[in-house]
Copies of this chain bind each other. A is one copy, B any other.
Amino acid sequence: MSIAAGQVRNILFIMCDQLRWDYLSCYGHPHLKTPNIDALAARGVRFTRAYVQSPVCGSSRMSFYTGRYVHSHGATGNDIPLKVGEITLGDYLRPLGVRAALVGKTHMHADIEGMERLGIDPDSIIGVRVSECGFDPYERDDGLHAVGPAGRYDPKPPPRYNSYLRDKGYSGDNPWHDWANAAVGEGNALASGWAMRHARKPARVKEEDSETPYMTRRAIDFMTEAGDTPWCLHLSYIKPHWPYIAPAPYNNMYSASDVVPIVRSEEERHDPHPIFAASMGKNVSNVFSREEVREEVIPVYMGLIKQIDDQLGLLFRFMGERGLLDNTLIVFTSDHGDYLGDHWMGEKDFFHEPSVRIPLIIADPSSTADATRGSVDDHLVQGIDLVPTFLEAYGSDPALQCHRLEGRSLMPLLRGEQPTDWPEFVVSEYDYSNLPVAMKPGFGPSRARMFMIADRRWKYIHVVGYRPMLFDLETDPNEFRDLGADPAYEAERQRMAGALAQWGLRLSQRATMSDAQMLAKRGKAMQRGILIGVWDENDIPAELWSRYLGDPE
């Protein structure tokens, strides 16, 4: 493939859901081969120290889409609506003449109350964008079409995907579940993918009709129809997120012998931090601590990733044929990881590396990025860095938005520069309101908060109302030894606590005026007649008095 010189025209922003940083062959997985993603890394830069702003879908994504910490945008959990006034990726790109479009998941909940207060019709163009992080929804599908005794989980209308499946002859009210996320079980009964013992059974749907190929085709449809307007397409796969179930052949492509050993230590269960203990005590943590579960689920988790890699191969081939690889900046990343039993944990929802660290690969077609192709970058980078990166890719100075955007453009790193002032810390946050411990009397959701601040060596976790946790990633890369109560590390804790305190006091809400605007208006009040501290008319230049002096009429 030849990389054309010149500016970025399009951006393909690919996000997987719940993909750990280390489940790709380019990130060192010994058995899972992902050649198409590896090839993307060979064309671009692979970041080894990329973190999310929260180890949970919605909060992390709102940070990706706003370029702001969770503490700033306020969507602290999966179903917390993003405030109507928050400015999002699409808002930043549209003035540059770029169409921001969505295929797949955002996990955005619209601030219906806020829209009503401001008279914004949710069905208007603006209302839809406000409800989709600024994206024009080409194919929105949050990928969780669950239904239970209290009704559907997702309040939005059933997805186009369900209609597609029905048109293809897949029957029932919810073919998303009954075909794409269920297998055939004992006695020909439906084996729901929600029961993980069925994970390795093949989903009933044909592979080509499963979610990942469907969304890939929708991305191709979008690119085919897009016309001449530059676009930023967010292709946001639900997989390898649960339900852990895959269509043939991906259900059966890996086996228990391909599962890498669990990363955990008895040391972690000796006098653990109370909130870590509560997290290890969750049902999902107990379930994933069982080897039989890992051996059934992880091969399918790997298969779902392999399917994404195969689909990206098709997508990249299509893009190459259309010449789109020459002018499209491609990002591949994930919204958070998956413990998969490591650290006695299931799911995400805490700050160990399997949960909070993500893969991040960026391939910039510009000639300015030629020097870094195939390279590995170990700077500390974060989800909030993408919006400023995209702005700079389009030639817009992200510094003009530094009163809103809290990340840092990665473009200098893609050009092989070595900035001397690169941020020393990354910050991630989590609201554990859903843990039983947060439901104790007098506790309340406002207190159920944790902050992680990490530099290149130390990871410090501040748990409001409790002692902190501390890990030395250099001597203890597996994060087995919590030094949060060890007197020998008081100085490190003080240093990290100080950095977090400074972060907490950062300027994050002056979103209506940039630093440059602040500087530009300095002294303007005097030119507009505000004359403070003047004793005598002779104290200030005569022209400032022009409208004030003279004879009374």
Residue ranges of A at the interface with B (Cβ–Cβ < 8 Å): 71-77, 79-87, 91, 111, 113-114, 117-120, 124, 126, 130, 144, 146-153, 171-174, 177-178, 182, 184, 188-190, 192, 194-197, 204, 242, 282-288, 290, 293, 346-347, 402-403, 433-434, 439, 444-446, 449, 451, 462, 464, 497, 500-501, 503-505, 507-513, 515, 518-519, 521-522, 524-537, 539, 543-553
Q: How many chain copies does the complex carry? A: 2
Give every chain B residue within 8 A of A130 (Cβ-Cβ): 118
Pair B505/A451 contact, Cβ less than 8 Å: yes
Give every chain B residue within 8 A of A285 (Cβ-Cβ): 533
Give every chain B residue within 8 A of A189 (Cβ-Cβ): 549-552
How many Å from the CB of A172 to the closest CB on chain B?
6
How many Å from the CB of A177 to the closest CB on chain B?
6
Pair B501/A497 contact, Cβ less than 8 Å: yes
Give every chain B residue within 8 A of A290 (Cβ-Cβ): 535
**Of B81, B144, B196, B439, the contact of A513 (CB 8 Å cutoff):** B81
Give every chain B residue within 8 A of A80 (Cβ-Cβ): 510, 512-513
Give A507 to B504 CA distance when docked, in angstroms: 10
Closest 6 A/B residue pairs (Cβ): A85-B85, A284-B533, A504-B504, A74-B509, A146-B529, A501-B501
* Known A148-B547, A189-B550; contact A84-B118, beta-carbon cutoff 8 A: yes
Pair A534/B152 contact, Cβ less than 8 Å: no
Give every chain B residue within 8 A of A149 (Cβ-Cβ): 527, 543-544, 546
* Known A76-B507, A117-B91, A511-B83; contact A546-B282, beta-carbon cutoff 8 A: no
Pair B529/A204 contact, Cβ less than 8 Å: no
Pair B196/A534 contact, Cβ less than 8 Å: yes
**Of B83, B120, B508, B525, the contact of A512 (CB 8 Å cutoff):** B83
Give A200 to B148 CA distance when docked, in angstroms: 77
How many Å from the CB of A550 to the closest CB on chain B?
6
Pair B282/A402 contact, Cβ less than 8 Å: no
Pair B293/A190 contact, Cβ less than 8 Å: no
Pair A522/B434 contact, Cβ less than 8 Å: yes
Give every chain B residue within 8 A of A433 (Cβ-Cβ): 518-519, 522
Max chain B Cβ within 10 angstroms of own Cβ: one of A75, A177, A509: A509
